[in-house]
Amino acid sequence: MTEAPTPPDQRTAVVTGAARGIGAAIAARLAADGHRVAVLDLREEDTAATVEAINNSGGKAVGVGADVSDADAVAAAVGRIAAELGPPTILVNNAGILRDNLLFKMTDTDWDAVMGVHLRGAFLMSRAVQAHQVQAQWGRIVNLSSTSALGNRGQANYAAAKAGLQGFTKTLAIELGRYNVTVNAIAPGFIETDMTRATAERVGVPYPDFVAHAVAEIPVGRAGAPADIAAAASFFVREDASFVSGQVLYVAGGPKD
């Protein structure tokens, strides 16, 4: 039985890693665009602030706790979202972690943890959500890559995962296009978040200096903000972006190779 079509401005969206930073900004933007939003993060209690902000602004959001690298947890989360908000047809795979180190210092655990959240997580979430998208004959998947996919010292695991997401994106675009499902990726450049603050602390550079150094290399002369990434995600999930699929959009304040 085919699910009844949902008005374009009333879809159910899932944003992973949405408790804070880029994920929270994307969740808020999609809610402002009229979508019901599942705010998913590792611990449900961590989603409270994002959910409250959306609901207080007139949107509809629920918080969901799940480890995106765990198949059973993903299946349960997507099932709950479908029951509480309606079948999810928009998915933003944003969940990510850092375990930076030079190759000779990087442990097996560091490598596996990053691959598990970024790549396995995107795979499991996409596999679960595409069932609803195919049934609805409509869907949008947006994967968060990074300019680090082009290579970045001390991030062999993260760079490999983010590059892998670009290949994953293009392959899903080919497989799912016939069902009116588009799949695209956003590759942020330097965005001011808790994660960039943690990176500055890890390398022992005062955060203002860390930002200033990055901005000096950005053609538009400023650091990015989570809202910049949210705007790109908003575009990709629109009805009038239906002919854009399999693309990687670098949102970095300037050109990237």
Tokens of 57: 């602004």
Burial class (CB in 10 A: 0-12, 13-18, 19+), 181: buried
Strands, E assignment, 47-154: 61-65, 88-93, 139-144
Instruction: Name the nearest CA neighbour of 176 among 133, 124, 142.
Output: 133
Say which residue the tokens 């099932």 belong to: 79
Answer yes or no: 158 catalytic. yes
Max alpha carbon distance in the chain (Å)?
58
Q: How distant is the alpha carbon of residue 225 from its chain centre?
A: 15
**Residue 39: its H or E element:** strand 36-41
Dihedrals φ, ψ of 221, to 5°?
75, 25
**What are the residue numbers of the active site?**
158
